[in-house]
Structure 1
Amino acid sequence: MLALEFVSTLRATRAGLTDTLSDVAGMTEWGRAHAAELGLGQSFVASEKLRREVVELRQAVRSLFARAVAPGPASSADADRLPGFAESIALVNATTLAVPMAPRLEWPDGEDPKATNVLAGRAEVSPRLRAVLAASAVELLAGAHREHLRACPAPRCVLYFVKEHARQEWCSVACGNRARAARHYRQHRDD
């Protein structure tokens, strides 16, 4: 899901928080990696203004994700620095409205048909890219997946994920292992 990949551009590593979109080079690389989904060419090069606008949108989407997982805890990455709910929903809605989208039916041979949203008009790169990202977030938050959206509770993890089965507690096996190891350490430290 593009919206999850988008908010996951802020992640935790052993060195601390890492922001894929912290500079123009990172934004360019991420845009090229998602060029097909974002309607970009492989020659895409981000500007500082576009990067700032995309990061502002990401923070708004992370704010809405934090609201969606409540009463569970939000991601610890930036929960104290997120914009307010009203401001976030206004930005996401304004961003989706800035560039008209339309459904397009795709039906590859041997596969089921699916609808994808495509841009209905021409627009500059920044509004177009942000409209696709905002629409992806709206689809996730207004769809059935919202009920399964979670913030990973593993130590130092700051990611959101969609719970795919009843027993899933973490975003990945690595986070599950880290959480179990931390719990084991705490239990035996007190002995």
Structure 2
Amino acid sequence: MSEIATGAARHTVQAAPPPPAPGAERYVALDFANSDLALPGGQELDLLGSPALATEWLVARGLAPAGAVLQEVCAGRLREHRTQVRALLSSQIGALPAPAEALRAINDALTSVPSAPLLRWDEAQGLHRAQPHPTDQVLDRALALLAADAAELLTGADAERLAACGSSPCRRFLLRTHAARHWCSVRCGDRARAARAYARRTRPEAE
């Protein structure tokens, strides 16, 4: 069961999010940006919409340890970070200057905690690398990892493949697989084609 936001009210419905958009399996920052979903019928689905949902999302992606518990203030910081990541993705797609506020947010997250796996040793594994999971820095570490992944996406070879889904009302991002029309899912593609077909059928004939 998922939480749906409709205006100021929230209620739960039996709804599953769409499959990950192309590229989201490679870049967790893209998956993160797409966690705020617009659904047909004017509904919205926020996968980070409550502390429990935000915790579940982070744990499922290895960005927080099992048993982590986020409070609303942390979930709110996570959603604000998503807003800044989305702003940077949008500016990249639109060939616009990167918003200064978004740049500050990403750089602050990058420098807040170590985001690289640390070198450790124990008798069972010997030398190995492992991500730190300090209980008092769960969110800061997650934000740093998300920021690092977003920076990699925005400055790497895949940046030119970034696109926004072309099917209204969807607002997900994706990596294009070709230069033609781009949708984030089969469902969005079918909806866009159906909308075009309907527009053709109802278009007044030229006199």
Give me the TM-score of the superposition, normalised by structure 1.
Answer: 0.78
- State the match for 1:42 in structure 2: 66
- The DSSP-based 3-state class of the residue aligned with 2:116 is strand
Instruction: Kindly provide the amino acid, as one letter, of the partner of residue 62 in structure 1.
Output: R
Query: Match for 1:13 among 39, 43, 54?
Result: 39
The whole-number CA distance in structure 1 between the counterparts of 2:117 and 2:76 is 28
* CA deviation vs aligned residue, 1:25-69 (integer Å, no higher than 9, x gap): 2112212221x2x1x222122111211111111000000001010
What is the correspondence of 1:149-160 to structure 2 with a 5 Å cutoff?
Answer: 149-160=162-173
Structure 1 match to 2:89: 65
Q: Which residue of 1 aligns with 2:157?
A: 144
Distance 1:104 1:169 in 2: 39
TM-score when normalising by structure 2: 0.72
Q: What percentage of residue pairs aligned between the two structures are identical? A: 36
2:116–2:131 contact (8 Å) kept in structure 1 = yes
Structure 2: gaps (5+ residues): 1-26, 120-128
Q: Kindly report the root-mean-square deviation, in angstroms, between the aligned alpha carbons of the 2 structures.
A: 2.4
> Does the 8 A contact of 1:100 with 1:121 survive in 2?
no
Name the counterpart of 1:80: none
Q: SS of the residue aligned with 1:102?
A: coil
Distance 1:178 1:14 in 2: 10
Residue deviations 1:101-149 (CA, integer Å, cap 9, x gap): 33689xxxxxxxxxxx975795611111111111111111111111000
Q: Does 1:27 align with 2:54?
A: yes
Residue correspondences, number: 166
CA contact (8 A) 2:166 2:181 kept: no
The structure with more helix, counted as a fraction of residues: 1
1:99 aligns with 2:113: yes
Which consecutive residues of structure 1, in runs of 5 or more, have no partner in the other structure?
A: 73-83, 106-116
8 A contact 2:34–2:172 mirrored in 1: yes
User: CA 1:169–1:104 in structure 2 vs 1: closer, same or farther (change >3 Å)?
Assistant: farther
**Bigger shift: residues 160-169 or 50-59:** 160-169
Residue identity matched to 2:94: A
What SS is found at the alignment partner of 2:201?
helix
